[in-house]
Amino acid sequence: MSTSKSVNRQILLVSRPQGPVTADNFKLVETPLAPLSEGQFRVRNHYLSLDPYMRGRMNDGKSYAAPQPLDAVMLGGTVGEVVESRHPRFAVGSKVVGSFGWQEYGTSDGAGVQQVTDPAVPLSAWLGAVGMPGVTAWYGLNHLIAPQKGQTVVVSAASGAVGSVVGQLAKRAGCRAVGIAGGAEKCRYVVDTLGFDACVDYKAGNLQHDLKAAAPDGIDGHFENVGGEVLDTVLGQMNAFGRIALCGMIAGYDGQPLPLRQPALILTQRLRVEGFIVSEHLELWPEAQALLARLVTQQQLHYRETIAQGLESAPEALIGLLKGKNFGKQLVKLI
Amino acid sequence: MSTSKSVNRQILLVSRPQGPVTADNFKLVETPLAPLSEGQFRVRNHYLSLDPYMRGRMNDGKSYAAPQPLDAVMLGGTVGEVVESRHPRFAVGSKVVGSFGWQEYGTSDGAGVQQVTDPAVPLSAWLGAVGMPGVTAWYGLNHLIAPQKGQTVVVSAASGAVGSVVGQLAKRAGCRAVGIAGGAEKCRYVVDTLGFDACVDYKAGNLQHDLKAAAPDGIDGHFENVGGEVLDTVLGQMNAFGRIALCGMIAGYDGQPLPLRQPALILTQRLRVEGFIVSEHLELWPEAQALLARLVTQQQLHYRETIAQGLESAPEALIGLLKGKNFGKQLVKLI
């Protein structure tokens, strides 16, 4: 059982990126911790999740969510332990998943905070394969792509937190799972460890040809985490009546929007292209998380983490994530 | 009752357009009419339908349908009258809808030919509001956009054969119907005669601003007949969870494909974008045509026709259609 300190360390967003994110968009501050009121508890965050969606929130444009305010703690999912409590249902020592953002301590009245009880699921997995990224994969695959046995499903950023789950679930559904990832090492991992049927290295420079070889019968379902050239290339190889779930357009977050080269293919191939945000489907999370937790504990769902050490490393870790430097789920260890 | 002549006049596609369609892509020929075999009948075509999809078929690229073969009669929908018959169910004098293409006479064994019996529906309407364009409008609006009462539905090429039906059906569903059309005269017709709430003249040069004024609460459903700048502009004004039915991408048929400028909006606004071909949903045609025929006979569904005279006028009429020179449904009168 830990005891609470009196000072919190936090990272604020202090300016919006003009193009790529830079370290000076952020500022580390120390803030005194106020005493708890009745009905509150305090969490020592163990891990902070870094995710591509954060880049979108740093902009001030039209999006599905309000922009991250300036001079406020950067948003983000966290897991940690309750270290002080005046709340009847969150006892000291409880492990919790919350959205406390880029800071070492979070204070809450319990709203939106989930207690985790299964000791067989590693705490950090609640930010990855069993958490938001895993549920994102599950929702997009099952509810938007809805592949049939024997069909070919492609996923970009295939070694990442979302993509790795998409492909493994597609395999379990009897599909041919094809990943797209950056670099030979990631591709080997996607095939050898995650069990995809094939993985295409988009950095090798032959994306169109290599994808055709990896998906010789064409593509029936595509889960897009990247956008840009990858999406253009996949679109050109979609079979009639294919479904594309748009989960991320990371390539377009910086600067000018990336166009889609041949939208007419959506018509000529009678495709369905659909964007989604998993947090708008909370009613489905329990079903998804129960499955994902079971698969993780039975070691039937594999994942990999890249862990940066210490709150102060978060800005560089996010910058690296947005450039594809991470390998698997990007976390920051805060303790 | 007419009698058959011995010579048929036909227009063949003799070369594929490199860029815009030109008159020398076509050739008018005279062909002797062979005697009928048992089980056949001959139709004197009264009207030929010209439609934007024809441009796509003239290309040799990947599409939903095989390309129009060279040196063969150009494809197209027709209505006409049986003038000679050795078929038990198609008597001389019957009015029929078929796909006899760009020729004065068609010979058939009945496959794919529909007899029309309701004398209150003008024969030419079976190529327009009650035919393929009308059913296209009905399907895309009801099955893909599925608007709710009070929502805003936009349709491009709003004075055309498809667009005019989309907006009128949207009004009947209790929606705000906003058209996009080329020129003040077409826009006046769309509002004054067809009863749309508003119509934006894209040729006026203020599409973004004018569309915002016409759809002040944003756009919930869009029926796309054009593509290119119109689609880009609409996409930027879609509300969350909007639906876009892709029916035509006429602007991209010539030459280079037209990109979609900001596909990331599909994600950030959680849109569904879906392409469709109405001939793949034949099981729904009877329901749609029964409704459309009833609305036309009750004068609750209005339409306008541009009629070119004589088979030889078909190439120039198609070229004009592809440039938006027609006003309403483009037909060629063959008799």
Contact indicator for A330, A317 with CB cutoff of 8 Å: yes
Cβ contacts below 8 Å, chain A against chain B, sum to: 106
User: What chain B residue is nearest to A236 in terms of C-alpha separation?
Assistant: B62
Q: Which CATH number does B7-128+304-333 carry?
A: 3.90.180.10
Contact indicator for A100, A49 with CB cutoff of 8 Å: no
For residue A263, what are the CA distances in angstroms to A152, A231, B227, B261? 21, 11, 9, 10
For residue B89, name the pLDDT band (cuts at 50, 70, 90): very high
pLDDT tens sequence across A101-122: 999 999 999 999 999 988 899 9
**Residue B281 pLDDT:** 93
Average pLDDT for B128-132:
96
pLDDT tens sequence across B20-51: 999 999 999 999 999 999 999 999 999 999 99
- The H-or-E segment that residue B289 falls in is helix B285-297
Percent over 70 (pLDDT), chain B: 96
Query: Of the candidates B97, B52, B91, which has an alpha carbon nearest to the alpha carbon of residue B247?
Result: B52
**Residue B252 pLDDT:** 56
**Residue A53 pLDDT:** 87
Structure tokens at A154: 């492609």
Angle B20-B30-B101 from CA coordinates, rounded to 5°? 50
For residue A268, list chain B residues with Cβ-Cβ distance below 8 A: 56, 62-64, 275
Rounded to a whole number of angstroms, the distance from the CA of B217 to the nearest CA of chain A is 15
Average pLDDT for B49-75:
87
For B261, the closest of A227, A257, A268 (CB atoms) is A257
Tally of CA atoms within 13 A in the half-sphere of A242 that contains its CB: 26
Average pLDDT for B315-335:
94
SS3 (DSSP) at A26: strand
For residue B7, name the pLDDT band (cuts at 50, 70, 90): very high
**Contacts of A227 by beta carbon, 8 Å cutoff, 6+ apart:** A246, A248, A249, A250, A251, A252, A258, B263, B264
Task: Test B268 with A252 for CB contact under 8 angstroms.
Answer: no
Q: How many CB atoms lie within 10 A of CB B113?
A: 22
CATH topology of domain A132-279: Rossmann fold (3.40.50)
**Residue A66 pLDDT:** 80
The DSSP string of B195-223 is --SEEEEGGGS-HHHHHHHHSTT-EEEEE
Average pLDDT for B264-292:
95
pLDDT tens sequence across A122-161: 999 999 999 999 999 999 999 999 999 999 999 999 999 9
Question: Is the pLDDT score of B1 beyond 50?
Answer: no
Query: Of the candidates B182, B168, B122, B200, which has an alpha carbon nearest to the alpha carbon of residue B320?
Result: B182
**Contacts of B116 by beta carbon, 8 Å cutoff, 6+ apart:** B79, B95, B96, B97, B123, B126
For B259, the closest of A247, A259, A269 (CB atoms) is A259
User: What chain A residue is nearest to B227 in terms of C-alpha separation?
Assistant: A264
For residue A64, name the pLDDT band (cuts at 50, 70, 90): low
Average pLDDT for B156-171:
97
Rounded to a whole number of angstroms, the distance from the CA of A187 to the nearest CA of chain B is 26
pLDDT tens sequence across A209-257: 999 999 999 999 999 999 999 999 999 999 999 999 999 886 555 656 7
Task: Test B267 with A246 for CB contact under 8 angstroms.
Answer: yes
Question: Is the pLDDT score of A321 beyond 90?
Answer: yes
**Residue A67 pLDDT:** 87
Rounded to a whole number of angstroms, the distance from the CA of A120 to the nearest CA of chain B is 35
Percent over 90 (pLDDT), chain A: 87
Question: Is the pLDDT score of A4 beyond 80?
Answer: no
Q: Mutate which of A233, A267, A268 to disrupt the B interface (most B C-beta within 10 Å)?
A: A267
- Beta strand residue intervals within A86-206, DSSP E: 95-98, 105-108, 114-116, 152-156, 176-181, 198-201
For residue B249, list chain A residues with Cβ-Cβ distance below 8 A: 263-264, 267
Average pLDDT for A247-272:
83
Question: What distance in Å separates the CA atoms of residue B259 and residue B61, rounded to the nearest whole number?
Answer: 17
Task: Test B263 with A262 for CB contact under 8 angstroms.
Answer: no
Question: What distance in Å separates the CA atoms of residue B104 and residue B312, rounded to the nearest whole number?
Answer: 11
pLDDT tens sequence across A17-59: 988 999 999 999 999 999 999 999 999 999 999 998 899 899 8
Structure tokens at A330: 């990007």
Task: Test B274 with A272 for CB contact under 8 angstroms.
Answer: yes
Query: Of the candidates A186, A180, A172, A98, which has an alpha carbon nearest to the alpha carbon of residue A141?
Result: A172
pTM (two decimals): 0.90
For A227, the closest of B264, B271, B280 (CB atoms) is B264
For residue A227, list chain B residues with Cβ-Cβ distance below 8 A: 263-264
- Beta strand residue intervals within chain B, DSSP E: 7-13, 26-32, 41-49, 72-73, 78-85, 95-98, 105-108, 114-116, 152-156, 176-181, 198-201, 219-224, 238-246, 272-275, 305-309, 329-333
Percent over 90 (pLDDT), chain B: 87
Handedness of CA A176, A177, A182, A185 (dihedral sign): negative
For residue B230, name the pLDDT band (cuts at 50, 70, 90): very high
**Residue B325 pLDDT:** 87
HEC string of B234-271 equals HHCCEEEEEEEEECCCHHHCCCCCCCECCCHHHHHCCC
Question: Is the pLDDT score of B326 beyond 50?
Answer: yes
The residues of A whose Cβ lies within 8 A of any Cβ of B are: 56, 62-64, 227, 231, 240, 246-249, 252, 257-277, 280
pLDDT tens sequence across B236-258: 999 999 999 999 886 555 556 78
Task: Test A266 with B273 for CB contact under 8 angstroms.
Answer: yes
Q: Mutate which of A273, A277, A281 to disrupt the B interface (most B C-beta within 10 Å)?
A: A273
Question: Is the pLDDT score of A65 beyond 80?
Answer: no
Contact indicator for B329, B305 with CB cutoff of 8 Å: yes
Task: Test B266 with A274 for CB contact under 8 angstroms.
Answer: yes
Dihedral, CA atoms, A143, A149, A155, A159, nearest 10 degrees?
Answer: 110
Contact indicator for B237, B265 with CB cutoff of 8 Å: no
Rounded to a whole number of angstroms, the distance from the CA of B305 to the nearest CA of chain A is 26
Task: Test B268 with A240 for CB contact under 8 angstroms.
Answer: no
The DSSP string of A315-332 is HHHHHHHHTT---SEEEE
**Residue B2 pLDDT:** 46
For residue B63, list chain A residues with Cβ-Cβ distance below 8 A: 268
**Residue A1 pLDDT:** 41
Give the homologous superfamily in CATH for domain A7-127+304-333: Medium-chain alcohol dehydrogenases, catalytic domain (3.90.180.10)
**Residue A104 pLDDT:** 98
Query: Please, what is the average pLDDT of chain B?
Result: 94
Average pLDDT for B73-102:
97
User: What is the complex's ipTM, to 2 decimals?
Assistant: 0.88
Question: What distance in Å separates the CA atoms of residue B246 and residue B277, rounded to the nearest whole number?
Answer: 9
- In the DSSP assignment, the letter for residue A146 is -
Q: Which of A205-209, A303-307, B10-14, B116-120 has the lowest mean pLDDT?
A: B116-120
Question: Is the pLDDT score of B282 beyond 70?
Answer: yes
SS3 (DSSP) at A154: strand
Question: What distance in Å separates the CA atoms of residue A153 and residue A141, rounded to the nearest whole number?
Answer: 9
Question: What distance in Å separates the CA atoms of residue B144 and residue B28, rounded to the nearest whole number?
Answer: 40
**Residue A2 pLDDT:** 46
For residue A136, list chain B residues with Cβ-Cβ distance below 8 A: none
* Structure-model confidence comparison of residues A105 and B324, the more confident one: A105
**Contacts of B323 by beta carbon, 8 Å cutoff, 6+ apart:** none
Average pLDDT for B103-112:
96
For residue B213, what are the CA distances in angstroms to B208, B290, B297? 9, 36, 34
Structure tokens at A114: 């989930």
**Residue A60 pLDDT:** 85
**Contacts of B117 by beta carbon, 8 Å cutoff, 6+ apart:** B95
**Contacts of A216 by beta carbon, 8 Å cutoff, 6+ apart:** none
Question: Is the pLDDT score of B143 beyond 90?
Answer: yes
Instruction: Give the domain ranges of chain A.
Output: 7-127+304-333, 132-279
User: What chain B residue is nearest to A57 in terms of C-alpha separation?
Assistant: B268
Question: Is the pLDDT score of B232 beyond 80?
Answer: yes
